[in-house]
Structure 1
Amino acid sequence: MAEALQIFATKGDLAHVALFLWASAASGLLVWSLREQAASNKRFQDFVEEIARLTSLLE
């Protein structure tokens, strides 16, 4: 790992490594947030279905 960083540092490609790490982190956060949004939508849908079921029982 240190050799790879040394090669990038000597060639001046350290900015590319930093950009890659930033893009990877941003992509990971996007995937995580989309999964959380999907889970939130599922929980809300379950809540709405329960309210509809309760309403139909009380009518």
Structure 2
Amino acid sequence: MSDLIKMFSERGDLAHVALLLWAIGASLGLWFVLREWAAAVRRFDDFVHALDLFNRRARRRAQDEE
């Protein structure tokens, strides 16, 4: 590993290594954000579905009581 670092430092390609590390970090961050966003959308969809079910049952009970 130290040979790889020595090769990059001798050739002056440290900026390329830094850019690669930044790109990897940004890609992983984006993947994490999208994964969490998808999970939040699923939770919200489950909530809306449960609320719709509750409203249907409440309407049915109100009609039965009339």
Runs of 4+ in 1 over 6 A off after TM superposition: none
So what's the TM-score if we normalise by structure 2?
A: 0.87
Q: CA RMSD in A?
A: 0.4
Question: 1 or 2 for the larger relative contact order (CA 8 Å, sep ≥6)?
Answer: 1
So what's the TM-score if we normalise by structure 1?
A: 0.98
Structure 1: gaps spanning 5 or more residues: none
Residue identity over aligned pairs, in percent, reads 44
Paired with 2:5 and 2:18, the residues of 1 have a C-alpha distance of 11
Tell which structure's C-alpha radius of gyration is larger.
Answer: 2
The total of aligned residue pairs comes to 59
